[in-house]
Amino acid sequence: MPASPSSPRSPSPPALGWVFLDRDGTLNAAAPPGDYIERPDDLELLPGAAEAVRLLNHAGIWTGLVTNQRGVALGIMSMDDVRAVNLRLTELLGLENAYLDDIYVCPHDIGVCDCRKPEPGMMLRAQRENPGLEFARAAMVGDSAGDVLAGQRLGMTTVLIAPGGQAPGEVIADHVVEGPLQAAAVVLRTARA
């Protein structure tokens, strides 16, 4: 029986207009455990990554990068190295008509800041810089428990990239997908909901 005009209705979830993407393991191949993407030549886009970003761009969804780069704190690389790698990422995306609206980097070691995921500091900074950003209308896409937890702390839709469906640890994301193109498809479905 349809609800009468005076009956309260549960609000439907808002459409997504904002997406945060992790970098290593989400857009580009991750370095082996304990290693870092130190040089632009080390960066290799994952299959479907540029197309995924382009689809988000064409849908009018703000698309930002949030990446932990602990190698800076460990002295393995400098912030200039990180900027050079990120520049290579944007160049490779640009070759396929895709772009990132902004890039946020945490160069700190574990436990010394509020920006290293799973802490939400990079996303909160993005909100300060983009006052229209509503986390209830945002998604976090990444390949680690830290990515998912950072999104959950702000009430975002979470999408975990886990090839083979193997989720790390006990983390439970809203969606688990094979790769970046499937993640974009989930975001776009949610954006149209």
The span from the CA of 63 to the CA of 70, in Å, is 23
Q: Which residues are catalytic?
A: 22, 24
Specify whether the CB–CB gap between 140 and 151 falls below 8 A: yes
Mean pLDDT of 79-93: 98
The span from the CA of 34 to the CA of 30, in Å, is 10
Mean pLDDT of 154-172: 82
Query: Which pLDDT value is given to residue 170?
Result: 67
Who contacts 89 (Cβ-Cβ below 8 Å, separation ≥6)? 23, 27, 28, 43, 45, 65, 100
Give the CA distances from residue 160 to residues 9, 23, 87, 97, 147, in Å, rounded to whole numbers and listed in that order. 31, 13, 25, 25, 8
Who contacts 116 (Cβ-Cβ below 8 Å, separation ≥6)? 68, 70, 106, 108, 109, 110, 146
Query: Which pLDDT value is given to residue 192?
Result: 67
How are strands ordered across the β-sheet holding 18-21? 102-106, 62-68, 18-21, 138-142, 157-161, 175-177
Query: Which pLDDT value is given to residue 60?
Result: 94
Encode pLDDT of 49-83 as tens digits: 999 999 999 999 999 999 999 999 999 999 999 99
The reported pTM is 0.89
CATH class of 18-192: alpha beta
Going by pLDDT thresholds of 50, 70 and 90, the confidence category of residue 164 is confident
Mean pLDDT of 36-56: 97
Q: Is 9 a residue whose pLDDT tops 60?
A: no
**SS3 of 65, please?**
strand
Encode pLDDT of 102-156 as tens digits: 999 999 999 999 999 999 999 999 999 998 999 999 999 999 999 999 999 999 9
Question: Mean pLDDT in the chain?
Answer: 90
Query: Which pLDDT value is given to residue 16?
Result: 87
The span from the CA of 160 to the CA of 154, in Å, is 16
